[in-house]
């Protein structure tokens, strides 16, 4: 069942592939952080038809599977638009849009936690709308939500094997290829699973510590 010498032999290839998962997760998370912020700010301060349209789109994205959204982006966009993106970019943008809708809620909770007096004071000081957001509101809204953002980074990391469906070569696809070459299935898949467990647990531990430190500072 478990052959140590074969396991040691496949680890380097799987580790290299797992690095691609990490890169895809970080890139996707960066997109999600920006898209989420845009959705949150427009949802707070746009005109009501724009708000309504945004809310409908966000609901639709949140209630449909990432896998299908990736297929749609990867196979339909080249037919509908003159653009054709690599599997990696499609994956990162797909994750960015999907999790951006989740992060917009997180930002919203952070923005709503800023005391109303801050808004009023900024308005009283006659600050421009941009200045109000960039210098007064967001610096107070974002630090408390950093741990929640960290949790979403972990969620996104665990979601990255889905990108193998659009031909992105990551750890799961690499494990599959290894298995089909050697006819040994148990080791590659088990190692791939363990890699995710280790990194997820390490990251959640880091997030929990960060949360403790932040709470210590705020209360």
Partner 1 sequence: MPLSDWMPLLADGAVITVKVAVLSAAVALTMSVIAGLGSISKHAFLRVTSKAYIQLFRAASLLVLLFWVYFALPFAGIELSKVMAAVLSIGLNIGAYGAEIVRSSIAAVSKGQHEASIALNLSPAQRMRKVIFPQAFARMLPSLGNLMIELLKSTSLIYFITLADLTYEAMIIRNNYYTWTPAIFALLLAAYFCLATLISISVRLLERSFTGWR
**What residue ranges bind partner 1 (CB under 8 A)?**
1, 60, 62-69, 71-72, 75-76, 79-80, 157-162, 165, 171-172, 175-176, 179, 185-186, 189-190, 192-193, 196-197, 200-201, 204
Closest approach, Cβ 138 to partner 1, in A, equals: 27
Q: Which tokens sit at 163?
A: 């990108």
**Nearest distance from C-beta of residue 212 to partner 1, angstroms:** 18
Kindly state the smallest distance separating residue 215's Cβ from partner 1, in Å.
17
Find the shortest distance in angstroms from Cβ 135 to partner 1. Answer: 35
Choose between 27 and 174: whose C-beta lies nearer to partner 1.
Answer: 174
Widest pairwise Cα distance in the chain: 71
Burial of 202: CB neighbours in 10 Å, binned 0-12, 13-18, 19+? exposed
Of residues 92, 102, 104, the one with CA closest to residue 29: 92
Q: Is residue 82 helix, strand or coil?
A: coil
Task: Tell me the DSSP string of 154-167.
Answer: HHHHHHGGGGGGGT
**Shorter beta-carbon distance to partner 1: residue 52 or 205:** 205
Judged by beta carbon, residue 44 or residue 151, the one nearer partner 1 is 151
CB of 118 to partner 1, least distance (A): 29
3-class secondary structure, 219: coil
State which residue, 72 or 119, has the beta carbon closest to partner 1: 72
Q: How many CA within 13 A on the CB side of residue 150?
A: 19
Residue 118 or 176 having the CB closest to partner 1 = 176
């Amino acid at each position: 069942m478990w052959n140590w010498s074969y396991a040691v032999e496949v680890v380097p290839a799987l580790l290299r592939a797992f690095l691609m998962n990490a890169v895809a997760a970080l890139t996707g998370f960066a997109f999600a952080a920006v898209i989420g912020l845009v959705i949150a700010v427009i949802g707070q301060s746009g005109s009501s038809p724009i708000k309504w349209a945004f809310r409908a789109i966000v609901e639709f994205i949140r209630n449909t599977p990432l896998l299908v959204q990736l297929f749609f982006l990867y196979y339909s966009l080249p037919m509908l638009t003159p653009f054709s993106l690599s599997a990696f970019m499609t994956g990162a943008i797909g994750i960015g849009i999907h999790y951006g809708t989740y992060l917009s809620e997180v930002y919203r909770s952070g923005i709503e936690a800023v005391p109303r007096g801050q808004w009023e004071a900024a308005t009283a000081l006659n600050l421009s709308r941009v200045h109000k957001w960039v210098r007064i509101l967001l610096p107070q809204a974002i630090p408390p939500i950093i741990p929640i953002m960290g949790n979403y980074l972990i969620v996104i990391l665990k979601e990255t094997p889905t990108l193998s469906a659009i031909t992105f070569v990551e750890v799961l696809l690499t494990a599959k290829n290894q298995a089909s070459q050697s006819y040994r299935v148990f080791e590659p898949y088990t190692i791939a699973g363990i890699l995710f467990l280790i990194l997820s647990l390490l990251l959640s531990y880091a997030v929990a510590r960060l949360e403790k430190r932040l709470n210590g500072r705020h209360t």
